[in-house]
Chains A and B, each alone.
Chain A
Amino acid sequence: MPLFEAERVEQAAQAGARSADTGRRNAAVRPLSIAIFAMGGEGGGVLADWIVDLAEHNGYVAQATSVAGVAQRTGATIYYIEMFPRERAERDGAAPLLALMPAPGDVDVVVASELMEAARAVQRGFVTPDRTTLIASTHRVLSIPEKSAMGDGARDAALMEQACASVARRFVRFDMAEAVERTGSVISAVIFGALSGEGVLPFGRAQFEDTIRRGGVGVEGSLRAFAEGFDRAKASPEGPRAATRPAPAEAPPAHADPRVARLLARLREEFGEAARPTATEGVRRLLDYQDPEYAASYLDRLARIARHGDERLLEAVARHLALWMSYEDTIRVADLKTRSRRFERVRAEVRPGRDTLLSIDEFMHPRLEEICDTVPAWMGRWLLKPGPARRLVERLTTKGRVVPTTTLGGFLMLRTIASMRRWRRSTLRYQRESEQIEQWLERVDRVASSDRALALEIVRCQRLVKGYGDTHERGSRSFATLMACSERLEGRENAASMLRELHEAALADDAGNLLRERVNALH
């Protein structure tokens, strides 16, 4: 007997003569209560309707409430259901009095269609160890602040799962979004299945399934999803999954191309266990980006840092240098967009289905800057000068272009741009990036002799330089600001941590307000 009920019987017994007749008689009989924590537009209402119908068709009195309203537009919302055995009520000659909202300590089942919503139920106190079975999906639907962060804003899913597990009487969990994908149905059907599989409600599987049939809408799909939910709930509990980061693949021992073979040998000779996987990945990327000579220059640059004998620093430089050297210019974008594996990836993601044709359109907005960056440096400089040529290009590039990659025209155009890879080393962009890379490496190299920690933070600042167009410009500005600051910080005891804080400030907002504030506060 759950704790609350035991208490209540006891209390009622103590409660004195006047309350004894009414308070005690039915103290242990309680309605079954179910709270659904959902997000608007997800079908929480359908689930609530199913549960009510299930109860009413199988000997229970049921009541459901919700606060739909504006919350149904994607916001968090709660549906609440209470049910009570009809036969018992008839025997007692009275109608049960059912509540309109859940109360902490009073909820038998909490259902959450997403992990943060499950955590919200815990935070609001609706999940209690003595009473509540928690059925939740482990997938995340990120909140706006989480997904709009300039870096990684996601909250700690493992921690949420752990908190849920620590307070739920039983915690049934699995990735319901995945089950939805597999069955092509809706999450409410998966949850309904899990509710049945868990066995917390006094109804059999057939009774659940009949409810779906009575609903009459999308019955086949719903039953498939129901079965999936039912089986997964039976198989639960599923341990928390470790977030999987893709690991760099190992390099082959030999290669037919002597230039590449030489690179592989250098990777073996010049790097320790800690930095080698990343450096290998770097080489792999630059081979893909340009050619073996370019990858060799990457290793040459790394060699300068390797002499400090700090593998951690070397690993960081290997990562960020590879990213920087494979900067996303128009050539690279056109190259990636026309690859066969990209076409396959799009097909896998869109899943066009049988007897269909797939087309892909790109949204590009090359501006004067991008064009100047792609042509040979002399031409780029000439175009950038104020004059009729510049005005013409500017006029032609005020609007973005939709490039139909799956047509011959679109594909050939992108492929032509991609083939300019051969002349990349002569472009304006290449010259500029190379200069900045050199400055950055020099700085790292110099600082590393006196302050390893600061050098590492300087390396990590490269993360700010990313994106395209305005985004890239903003990132570059922040990066330049941080580099200037690092100079001022050199020699200070806590230079590294201060630079790290500035780095974080740069990622706080895209207007750069916090960074400006922090920089001004530096003295």
Chain B
Amino acid sequence: MAERSFAQEVGKLRLGAGEEFVGEGILAVTKALLQSGVAYVAGYQGAPISHLMDVLADAREVLDELGIRFENSANEATAAATLAASVNYPLRGAVTFKAPVGINVASDAIANLASGGVTGGALIIVGEDYGDGSSIMQERSHAFAMKSQVWLLDPRPNLPSIVKAVEDAFELSEASRTPVMLELRIRACHLHGRFVAKDNRRSPFALADALENPRRDVDRIVLPPASFLHEREKVEQRWPAAVRFIRERGLNEFFAEGERDVGIVVQGGLYNTLLRALERLGLADVYGRTSVPLYVLNVTYPLVDEELARFCAGKRAVLVVEEGQPNFIEQAIAASLRNVDLPTRVLGKGLLPIAGEYTPSVLVDGLRAFFATHAPGIVAPAAGLPASETAARLADAQRQLAGQVQPRTPGFCTGCPERPIFAAMKLVQRELGEHHVSSDIGCHLFSILPPFNIGNTTMGYGLGAAAASALGSPAGKRAISVMGDGGFWHNGLTSGVANAVFNESDQLALIIDNNYTAATGGQDLLSSKAITRNRSTQHPIEKAVRGVGVKWVRTIPRTYDVGAMREALREALTTREKGPKVIVAQSECMLNRQRREKPQKRKAIAAGERVVRERFGVDPDTCTGDHSCIRISGCPSLTVKPNPDPLRTDPVAHVEQSCVGCGMCGEVSHAAVLCPSFYRAGVVHNPRTFDRFVHRVRNAVIRALQRRTDRRLAATAI
């Protein structure tokens, strides 16, 4: 079960010709796949393309009707290898993942696929996670397209353009016998918009047709001498075919082509931002009509030399607006113009920042600089700039705020079962000293931030244990590696755990088993507890780990038991046992658990059933305001409030209404010998007669005793 239910969106996948689709960019892509007649779809979830996978997981019936096979791939390499079905058969297929990290993993399969070429259209949809909100290293997918000679589409960010790009991509792929990559930036994936739908198409060639009538062509297999043939075929046949297709079908777009003797070449995905910047400078209107010649690259690889020459002919200078680095496109344009001896100046990085996201402000500055030199006078000096009084006021406020506004990084959710694991680790490190901690990708990576400050490196998804390889040597302290269940099944079982067994690594591998790939939106995986309709789950991690030869394994079935967590960690770090030590720390992702349990509890209470709800609180009169509890937790619902005591000044800890009663606060108070201020309040809804009787008896005695105390205190109170 994914974090969101897509039942409503599934309906949108059924829209027919002429009906209007309203929704998110990545779902429009999903619909476009069905309109293109795909026979199979696979992928690995991750922002910003998770919803493509999630909606298809909920759309079993639609997929069955169209005869489409849909797989939640084990990882991106699996997903890319799935495209092998399009090598010999006229089957259209699509795979999707987060880029460039997903392409890194998939690159082996992509390279092999690109070498032999395809018969059916093969599409790789990548969510380019670059700039604001990104959670990965800042690199470009472009390099992969170039190295494997896979065509790269980067359409204008509006739903009709994106949908058209999907449809064009399949045709381009088939026309040039080459896989095609479609790149979508984060905001384009999450873009709300609309387009006019077409009917879904069933693949004319079925998967069963392929299975029942297998075809082989030894020339499509990557082995000498075919591999040498492939390289020549790529440059002699497939590339020219692609260029011809792009030109004939007009995939790239020209605007105001001959209006000035300067122009701009822009990646399609940056078109809207560029037009907003031009509008700020008074060179475009709200409808995107501009007087500045634009050459919009909806296909950023390969470039079409003829189109470039046509656009640049008669222009003194062109500005290349290309996000990220290296500036592959700018370099290629410069070389292309040089080849045909065009004297047009090519500018790009330098006027625009070399690194970082191209926001409207960044482009306004770059454009201003470009026009100042190459088209003086077309931009008014004050265009797009705030009045000086405005700027001064802003600067003043910003100066005041310096040091006040603190970064608010993502962190563990309220009640997250991973929090107590790192609390326990912090406690163990207090006893045994600091350890080297090799982190992984996933929610657990938030441990590197305050208040935990645990983790030294992260080398990629599922590579936590692998990254502790060199540090698996015997020493006074052991390296600790952390891995989520997502990373574990993605590749960590072999790359990390089996590798550690084989190489007799002395590390402690801590595997966090929260039933989902939680960070990508709570998708199911092999070890999920849920019983699902179309997937095989409930395969325990401990069994897998023992299967590859680990001897020392401890499964902690409840991570909130900080004491047991600490015990297990301490033992793993001090045992004389050789080889890797594995701890599997299990508790369900709280976000998903709440989503499941909250409505159930509400319903049960309404139905008159006896339900006990728990939450935690802090007694402000015993809290002394040291906040040790927060430094070992960081829970969003555990915060501070002004001290009600007139003698004290430090704020007291306070538990907000959002507390889900996970129990961590109490366990930490116990394990860390913190403070007796925490209490657990249990609320019994719809109590039974017996409950009420016991309660009345207790209350009568307690009240009487409390009244005595009250009288004693009142006698001397002032």
Contact = CB atoms under 8 A, between A and B. Distances in A.
A340 B714 CA distance: 13
A286 B198 CA distance: 80
Contacts of A154: 640, 651
A97 to B, nearest CB: 4
B223 interface: no
Interface in B642-689: 642-651, 657, 665-666, 669-676, 678-687
A103 B281 CA distance: 13
A81 to B, nearest CB: 8
Interface stretch (A303-311, A349-357, A434-442, A497-505): A349-357
18 contacts: A3-B387, A15-B380, A48-B192, A63-B193, A73-B411, A73-B519, A94-B288, A120-B405, A144-B634, A159-B400, A244-B642, A259-B716, A280-B718, A283-B718, A336-B622, A359-B684, A363-B678, A471-B674
Q: Sort A-B residue pairs by CB-CB distance and give the 3 closest, nearest first.
A: A67-B133, A400-B670, A75-B410
Given A19-B378, A411-B702, A65 B680 contact: no
A415 B701 CA distance: 12
Interface of B: 22, 47-48, 129, 132-135, 157, 186-188, 190-193, 256, 259-260, 272-273, 275-276, 280-291, 359-361, 364, 377-380, 382-384, 386-387, 390, 393-394, 396-398, 400-401, 403-413, 443, 446, 449-451, 519, 563, 591, 615, 617, 619, 621-622, 624-628, 630-631, 634, 636, 638-640, 642-651, 657, 665-666, 669-676, 678-687, 691-692, 695, 697-698, 701-703, 705-707, 709-710, 713, 715-718
A368 to B, nearest CB: 11
A395 B672 CA distance: 17
A72 B484 CA distance: 19
A491 interface: no
Contacts of B379: 11, 15
Interface string A15-46: 11011011101110111000000011100000
A95 B287 contact: yes
A16 B377 CA distance: 8
A406 B698 contact: yes
B683 A356 contact: yes
A119 B408 CA distance: 12
Interface stretch (A122-130, A231-239, A447-455): A122-130
A20 B313 CA distance: 24
A87 interface: no
A408 B405 contact: no
B634 A350 contact: no
Interface stretch (A162-170, A198-206, A384-392): A162-170
Contacts of A96: 286-287
Contact of B285 (A27, A71, A248, A288): A27
Given A18-B260, A105-B386, A155-B404, A73 B283 contact: no
A227 B256 CA distance: 50
A70 B47 contact: yes
Contact of A73 (B289, B446, B451, B666): B446
Contacts of A21: 291
A122 B675 contact: no
Contact of A116 (B288, B408, B695): B408
B410 A123 contact: no
A471 B628 contact: yes
Contacts of B651: 152, 154
A379 interface: no
A256 B714 CA distance: 11
A66 interface: yes
Given A99-B273, A116-B408, A469-B673, 11 more contacts: A11-B383, A27-B285, A70-B135, A129-B394, A150-B627, A163-B400, A343-B706, A356-B685, A365-B669, A411-B698, A466-B650
A346 B681 contact: yes
A339 B706 contact: yes
A342 B619 contact: yes
A105 B390 CA distance: 10
A214 B380 CA distance: 46
A252 B647 contact: no
Contacts of B678: 362-363
A274 interface: no
Contacts of B519: 70, 73
Contacts of A278: 647
B627 A147 contact: yes
Contacts of B406: 116, 143, 145-146, 155
B187 A100 contact: yes
Contact of A151 (B135, B443, B625): B625
Given A74-B411, A122-B397, A510-B631, A469 B674 contact: yes
